[in-house]
Amino acid sequence: MWRAVDQDGYVRDEIVQTCRNTKAARRLLTRSLKKGVCRQSV
């Protein structure tokens, strides 16, 4: 579990899975790049 503060200043507790699904993460990133949701470089 990790804790973060969002843009409005609210503390958010999130549960993070211990195992990572690399295939799903790569698919999400690829789809986001195709749709223009995120930049390819910073």
> Which band of pLDDT confidence, cut at 50, 70 and 90, is reported for residue 39?
low
- Give dist(CA 26, CA 16) in Å, integer: 18
Domain-located, residue 41: no
What range defines the domain where residue 13 resides? 2-35
Amino acid at 22: T
Number of domains in the chain: 1
37 vs 33, residue with greater confidence: 33
> Which band of pLDDT confidence, cut at 50, 70 and 90, is reported for residue 32?
confident
Q: What is the pLDDT of residue 16?
A: 58
Model pLDDT for residues 9-30, shown as the tens digit of each residue = 777 766 556 667 788 888 878 8
Domain-located, residue 42: no
Joined tokens for residue 4:
């973060």
8 vs 16, residue with greater confidence: 8
Domain-located, residue 16: yes
